[in-house]
Amino acid sequence: MTISRKILTSTIVCTVWALSSCAHAQIELPSTAPTAGRDTDAQRLTAQEAPLVLKANLRARILFVTRGDSTLKSYAIAVGQERYPTPLGTYTIRKIVWNPSWKPPPGSDWAKGKTAKGPGDPGNPMKVVKIFFREPDYYIHGTGDVESLGSAASHGCLRMDPNEVADLAKLVMEHGGQPRGENWFWRIVHSRREEQVVYLDNPVSLTIGE
């Protein structure tokens, strides 16, 4: 049977057009895609705008740094002994002291016979930085007794590894409206005898729970 060139050409063109239309239909985005994209962007923006929040779990002896539904970091901590419990509740961090000095708390049995220590003194139990959450007695601070982390060993404060508490303080300052450059932190860390107080423009919340 003989098929004319005109009919054959027409058939090929129609077939190619049909396949092209089918392929186009397969890759066409669903009508909900643009809306879904905007929702994702909105959720991401909301997470970025969410405030930084600290959460201490006394039973697990872990401090979590959160923002929205995300946990940014977690740190091992030592918590208060049974005789000197860490207070439960929600507090506001407004003040950070780098290279803090230390004075024995008046009237405390455990501090009898101890003497005041200046910033950077080897015998100073406050290492690197103090992050106050309930002044004047309760704060997060670095400790030289890193073996105590993960236990109930403090007199009510939250103890941390010195390097990790410095990392936490930087993060709190950044989100608290008082960011500093690396040169500032380098000077603070290498000038241990110089006490530096920072007040946050945007206080950071700390919740302590069991």
> Closest by alpha carbon to 184, among 98, 101, 125?
98
Confidence grade of residue 106 (pLDDT, cut at 50, 70, 90): confident
| CA dist list (Å): 69 to 43, 99, 173, 205, 208 | 11, 33, 21, 15, 18
Tell me, what's the pLDDT at 191? 83
Mean pLDDT of 170-191: 93
Q: Is the pLDDT of residue 8 over 50?
A: no
Q: E strands along 19-122, which residues?
A: 52-57, 62-67, 70-76, 79-80, 89-98
Q: How far apart, in Å, do the first and last CA atoms of the chain sit?
A: 90
Confidence grade of residue 104 (pLDDT, cut at 50, 70, 90): confident
Q: Is the pLDDT of residue 1 over 70?
A: no
- What confidence tens digit (pLDDT) does each residue in 136-161 have? 999 999 999 999 999 999 999 999 99
Which has more confidence, 197 or 113?
Answer: 197
- What confidence tens digit (pLDDT) does each residue in 22-68 have? 333 333 433 333 333 444 454 454 556 799 999 999 999 999 999 99
Q: Per the structure block, which two tokens stand in for 125?
A: 């139990």
The DSSP H or E segment spanning 49 is helix 33-49
